[in-house]
Structure formats: C-alpha cells, structure tokens
Amino acid sequence: MSADQKVALVTGATRGIGLETVRQLAQAGVLTLLAGRDATRTRAAAETLKAEGLPVEPIALDVTSTESIDQAVAQVQSRFGKLDILVNNAGILVDELGKAPSQQSLQAWRETFDTNLFAVVEVTNAFLPLLKKAPAARIVNVSSQLGSFGLHTDPTSSIYNFKIPAYNVSKSAVNAWTVHLSYELRDTPIKVNAIHPGYVQTEMNGGQGEIDVPTGAKSSVGMALIGADGPTGSFTYLGKTLPW
C-alpha cells in the first residue's frame, strides 16, 4: 500500500448494496475493508472480490457490539493508521408490514434503532480519530427517502402511503445525526453526508426494487469520492438533493 492510497471501510458489506459499494470503491483504486458481522461470510465475500484483482480486505465488525467495534478500530489503527472513508451501510428492517405505527412492537423499535441509528453513531465516533488523521475524510450515512419528512407529509409523494414506522423514523434520525455531525466538523476537511440508494432490488425487500444493485451503490460511492468542493450535511440521491 502506498502512503497516499485511500482506505475505506464499508459496514454491512457481505451482500447487496454494501458488497457492491466495496466493489466500486475498490475499482476506483481505494483499498477497501469489507466489514461484516459473520467472520466466515466476510472472508468469503472479500476473497471473491480479491479474486477479481481488487484491493479488498475483510474485517469482522458487528456494529451493535462495542467490543467488536473497538477491535475493528484497533486493527485499522495498527495496519493503516488512518481511515479516509467510512460508509455506514449496515441496516435492518424488522417492522411487521401492514401494521400501523401504533401497532408495532416496542422490541421492533428498539432493535431497529440499535442497528440503524445507535450503531451508526457509535461506529462513527469510534473511527473519528482515525478519520481525522486522513487528509480529507468522507463519512457516508446510508439513509432512505423513507426518512424524509417532506415526502411523508406530501400527499402527492410516491411514498406518502408507504409507512414502515420504525425503519422510516430510524432513517429520519440518521439524517438528523448527519446534519449535527457535519456542523461539528464544518471547519475541518471532513465531509459528512446522507444518501438514498434508491429503491433497490435486494434481499431486504424481496427483490421488489426498481433499480439494480450496481445503480444502488452509486450514490454511496459518489459521495465517498467527492472532492474538496463537494457538499457536506446533504441528503441526496445520485447527486440530486432530497427534502428533509
């Protein structure tokens, strides 16, 4: 690894959008750490991409475990001494579809927020010292247009009737976290942005999406590679600003 090569870490990257994000970042020449909760699956996914000649390495990371996060940070510190790009991609959807907001179990709310929000905050904070050691780090939070208050309160919006409460509200909170962290880091070279990947054909939605996985990864990759003139504190889809 050369001294000026960028190092990225993508969470929840053993399949779907996360795996494709790793592939596209590596294709752009970024040494990319493929992070996953299951060490065996993580190694297998990384080996598949390495066999394609891509600069990819596996790293075990359960985003809901403080011990696992600390171990991952120690590994990155020891091996690279910095982190240029953090893509917070890991997420879950456990709402009972068809049930109203008031009918969702409290357990579903807690489980969703543990992974979709609290893990994003903890992982980001843990890696922040390494991100600050990079010349101009990028933090990308994978959100969703389903977290948009503007779209949910607009009767003409395509998602107006698409209420998956715990998941949607967790993504609204991710957007708010993005705004606050970008404000904190406004006088540094670090840029923090939230993206909507699109309605992607993944296992999470049973393949019912409108776009393929490679297209779904483009928003994360594009924002991870923005230059000094790029935005911070934004919420976009393929470069188009979305309503909060």
Q: Give the pair of three-digit tokens for residue 152.
A: 């949910």
Which pLDDT score is estimated for 1?
Answer: 67
**pLDDT (mean) for 115-137:** 98
Mean pLDDT of 87-116: 97
Mean pLDDT of 64-82: 98
pLDDT of residue 198: 87
Question: What is the token pair recorded at 195?
Answer: 């993206």
Q: What is the pLDDT confidence band of residue 192, given thresholds at 50, 70 and 90?
A: very high
Q: Which of 77, 178, 205, 214 is nearest to 132 (CA)?
A: 77
| Amino acid letter, 39 | A
The radius of gyration computed from the CA coordinates of the chain, to the nearest angstrom, equals: 17
Residue 129 carries which side chain, given as an amino acid letter? Answer: P
**What letter does residue 146 receive in the DSSP assignment?**
G
3-state secondary structure 45-114: HHHHHHCCCCCEEEEECCCCCHHHHHHHHHHHHHHCCCCCEEEECCCCCCCCCCCCHHHCCHHHHHHHHH
Confidence of residue 171 (pLDDT cuts 50, 70, 90): very high
Is-contact 181 192, C-beta < 8 A? yes
Across the range 128-150, mean pLDDT stands at 98
Has residue 14 got a pLDDT over 80? Answer: yes
Backbone torsion region of residue 86, taken as left when φ is above 0, otherwise alpha when ψ lies between -120 and 50, otherwise beta: beta
Structure token digits, residue 228: 């000094």
Evaluate if residue 107 carries a pLDDT over 70. Answer: yes
**Residues recognised as catalytic:** 167, 171
Structure tokens at 51: 């066999």
Full set of structural domains in the chain with CATH: 7-241 (3.40.50.720)
Alpha helices in 91-227 (DSSP H): 106-113, 119-132, 149-152, 165-184, 213-224
How does pLDDT run across 197-239, given as a tens digit for each residue?
A: 988 766 655 556 677 888 999 999 999 999 999 999 999 999 9
How would you classify the pairing of strands 56-60 and 31-36? parallel
Residue 132 to residue 81: CA distance in whole angstroms: 11
Mean pLDDT of the chain: 95
Q: How would you list the strands of the sheet with 56-60, edge to edge?
A: 56-60, 31-36, 7-10, 85-88, 138-142, 191-195, 235-237, 240-241
